[in-house]
Amino acid sequence: MQFADIVASAVADIVASAVADVVADVVADVVADVVADIVADIVADVVADVVADVVADIVADIVAEHWRRHKAPAPSFSFTGPCCRL
């Protein structure tokens, strides 16, 4: 093997290694960003659903208690009760 072949082989190895490192870093960053976005979206959706359910339950309990105290039936809530005229 001649000197030029040795240098060319070494340069090719160095370039291939550098390119592989850069590609691996870029792919890792992109995958991490995509996974983080997906997880953030899922967590936000789950939290929003849980909060909505909890708030709906609390409001339903408050409305039911209001109607129970006024001895009125509570099939559905409206602002027409004896103390809630709007």
CA distance 80 to 86: 7
pLDDT of residue 67: 79
pLDDT in tens, 28-81: 999 999 999 999 999 999 999 999 999 999 999 988 888 787 765 555 555 555
pLDDT of residue 86: 46
How many other CB atoms are there within 10 angstroms of residue 67's CB atom? 17
> Does residue 78 or residue 12 have the better pLDDT?
12
